[in-house]
Amino acid sequence: MLKYAEIANNLITWLRSKTQILALICDLQTAMLATNPLAKVLSVIRAVITRWTAYYMAYHQLLELMLVLQMLVKTHRERVLAGNTATHRKAKEMIKVIENPVFWHSLQR
Q: Is the pLDDT of residue 101 over 90?
A: yes
In this prediction, what percent of the chain has a pLDDT beyond 90? 74
For the stretch 52-96, pLDDT in tens is: 788 899 999 999 999 999 999 999 999 999 889 999 999 999 999
Q: CB-based burial of residue 51 (10 Å sphere; 0-12 exposed, 13-18 middle, 19+ buried)?
A: exposed
Q: How far apart are CA 68 and CA 25, in angstroms?
A: 7
Show the CA angle centred on residue 14, arms to residues 8 and 20, nearest 5°: 130
Cβ atoms of 68 and 29 within 8 Å: the answer is yes
Taking each helix axis from N to C end, the angle separating 66-75 and 85-99, rounded to the nearest 10 degrees, works out to 130
At a CB cut-off of 8 Å and minimum separation 6, what does 107 contact? 4, 8, 59, 62, 63
